[in-house]
Amino acid sequence: MARDDIAGAVAQLGLSLPEDVWRGLEIHVGALLKWQRSINLVSRSTLDEVWTRHVLDSLQLLPLIPAGARTLVDLGSGAGFPGLVVAIARPDLSVRLVESDNRKAVFLGEVARQAAPTTVIVNKRIEAAAPDPADVITARALAPLPELLDWAHRFTIDPTICLFHKGRSIDDELTDAERRWMMTMDRVPSVTAPDAAILRVARLRPRR
């Protein structure tokens, strides 16, 4: 599926992406397909649907980012979904991509150099990255919610929000997370999978 096939879904999100953003996304996808031959960036079963399964899935975060946001940290960036896609689409944001795998970090740096040159690649484990606060924290297909919140809390201040892609296990993960964390939370249905949602978390603080 090519970019033209997701244009309608992007418009339904209320987004109007300029041509340079589309070009940046095409650079990202082209690099992914090339690098995938030598390193495992995404599941091979999703390569034929990369524009929907990965690009559109990442773009759906854009309407959820607060208007006043200036900084974003993406945890466990991997192939750049969602963090690098957001960086390409929102060049006004200061974006840090945290990725511990050296080869994936090199991939992210190469794509960022061409398509999102102000993006910072942090080639460290999340717990070793400098805990500089961010307005928005994102993560996709990284870890269960309790572990995500442990990591994310290092980067949060009020009013930081977290935007996490979650699947059918979301209820069980929330039950586990709420034993240790207090938060305000809502779910936004995913536009790419009927059993998935974007979990929006704010006012994250540990239980005493």
- Residue 163 DSSP label: E
Structure tokens at 56: 């559109």
Average pLDDT, rounded, for the chain: 95
Measure the CA angle with vertex 38, ends 141 and 109; round to 5°: 65
Alpha carbon 58 to chain centroid distance? 6
> Residues annotated as binding site?
76, 81, 126-127, 140
Q: Determine the pLDDT at residue 83.
A: 98
Q: Determine the pLDDT at residue 141.
A: 87
- Mind listing the pLDDT tens digit for each residue in 93-132? 999 999 999 999 999 999 999 999 999 999 999 999 999 9
Contact 11/5 with Cβ under 8 angstroms? no
> Residues annotated as binding site for S-adenosyl-L-methionine?
76, 81, 126-127, 140
Q: Determine the pLDDT at residue 1.
A: 52
Which string of b and e fits 77-96 if b means at least 16 CB within 10 Å? Answer: bbbbbbbbbbbbbbbebbbb
Band (pLDDT 50/70/90 cuts) for residue 161 is very high
Helix (H) or strand (E) holding 154: none
Tell me the whole-structure pTM to 2 decimals: 0.95
Band (pLDDT 50/70/90 cuts) for residue 158 is confident
CATH of 3-206, one of 3.40.50.300, 3.40.50.620, 3.40.50.150, 3.40.1010.10: 3.40.50.150
Structure tokens at 31: 């690099």
Rounded CA separation 39/28 (Å):
15
- Mind listing the pLDDT tens digit for each residue in 14-24? 999 999 999 99
Helix (H) or strand (E) holding 20: helix 19-35
- pLDDT surpasses 70 at 135: yes
Structure tokens at 93: 């944001």
